[in-house]
Amino acid sequence: MAGERRRSVALAITGASGAMYATRTLAALLSRGVHVELVISDYGRRLLRDELGEEAAVEQLMPYLSGRYGDEVGRGSIALHSNRDLGATIASGSHGCSGMAIVPCSMKTLAGVAHGLSRSLVERAADVMLKERRRLVIVPRETPMSLPQLRNMVLCAEAGAMMLPAMPAFYQLPKTLDDLADFMAGKILGALGFEHDLYPPWSGRVGA
């Protein structure tokens, strides 16, 4: 835990459905004392408000998270960057960010990462993770998927990213939307190298 406390992770929120996956992941990281370099695209900002309400607007994110997930989120810290600021810390490989997750990841941002376009801070920071061989976790959300979208996922996987689609499982017998969000956030934390108890490990039997 003491090691985790010093860790710094980048989290990008883009304009795909599933804003709750992002807020749950952010809250779980903060509760572990992680420093989060946060960047949210214009449509990511819109999705936060559209899906979670005005109280989840970017300007009020910390009070929203502590109200929703508890005061432990105060153990971590956030540096919020503009998606237009290509001079932000996480645009450089010299910054000590240990990994990055894009939650959720739109097909547009997926395409940008797959082709190394670096048009925005989200795309540039992802590009940095790939070139530095650090963990990049991409959580795409779209259905059905076109051939270019499928190919873009393969390109990202070939470049070293972990493709972690927003596909919550049902063998944990979820009862609420929060259970589904916990499952996805747990998968993302695990992929970033964090221990978590967001869902119980598979016991060999459904419901056991």
Ligand X SMILES: Cc1cc2nc3c(=O)[nH]c(=O)nc-3n(C[C@H](O)[C@H](O)[C@H](O)COP(=O)(O)O)c2cc1C
Shortest approach of ligand X to residue 92 CB, angstroms? 21
With contacts defined by CB under 6 A, name the span among 13-21, 57-65, 125-133, 197-205 that binds ligand X. 13-21
Q: Are 75 and 32 in contact (CB under 8 A)?
A: yes
Binds ligand X (CB under 6 A): choice among 121, 141, 187, 198: 141
Binds ligand X (CB under 6 A): choice among 4, 35, 50, 89: 50
CA 203 to CA 96: how far, in whole Å? 37
Q: Residues 98 to 137: which contact ligand X by CB under 6 A?
A: 106-109
Nearest-5° Cα angle at 113, 110 to 117:
125
Q: How many residues bind to ligand X according to rule CB under 6 A?
A: 15
- DSSP, collapsed to helix, strand or coil, labels residue 26 as helix
- DSSP, collapsed to helix, strand or coil, labels residue 85 as coil
Per DSSP bridges, beta strands 162-163 and 135-140 are parallel
- In Å, what is the CA distance from 115 to each residue of 9, 109, 128, 130, 200? 23, 10, 13, 12, 37
Q: Are 90 and 121 in contact (CB under 8 A)?
A: yes
Q: Does 179 bind ligand X (CB under 6 A)?
A: no
By C-beta, is 31 or 109 nearer to ligand X? Answer: 109
Binds ligand X (CB under 6 A): choice among 44, 76, 99, 168: 44
Binds ligand X (CB under 6 A): choice among 33, 43, 66, 145: 43
Binds ligand X (CB under 6 A): choice among 9, 41, 153, 187: 41
Shortest approach of ligand X to residue 15 CB, angstroms? 3
Q: Which residues bind ligand X (CB under 6 A)?
A: 14-17, 41, 43-44, 46, 50, 106-109, 141-142
